[in-house]
Amino acid sequence: MKSIGIQLIDNNDQGEPMDLKINPVRDVTGKIIAGIVIGNILEQNKALIIIGSEGDLKFRPDIGVNFGDVLLNDNLLEYRHKINEHFDKDGLKISELDLYTLDNIKIVADYES
């Protein structure tokens, strides 16, 4: 299942965003027996694809929309195509993509079963 994996810190957690989410679990002697948080990473993966640039992900250097550049280039059609292309490379199927203005962006996607 591609939507389960190691979670990163987001804006709802304390710590530096995009660092590993760690929640140490200790046994009765104080030894750490678990710590890295595993869970649903669908939204995290979508965000990483959108904000990342090609070459950012070592294991998939061909993925990354670099949406931050939209401020320099207001061609939203180009970014709709890039999002579709890069999500597809990761196995994400988009069911809704509303990107016609920067005021209201909606992307609904999930991994193929």
Which of 17-21, 39-43, 51-55 is predicted with the least confidence, judged by mean pLDDT? 17-21
Taking the C-alpha atoms of residue 24 and residue 35, their distance in angstroms, rounded to an integer, is 4
* pLDDT in the model for residue 94: 97
pLDDT tens sequence across 80-102 = 999 999 999 999 999 999 999 88
Listed in order, strand segments (DSSP E) in 2-112 are 4-6, 22-26, 32-36, 38-40, 92-98, 106-111
In the predicted structure, residue 57 carries a pLDDT above the cut 90? no
pLDDT of residue 30: 94
Binning pLDDT at 50, 70 and 90, where does residue 15 land? confident
Average pLDDT over residues 38-49: 93
Amino acid letter, residue 88: D
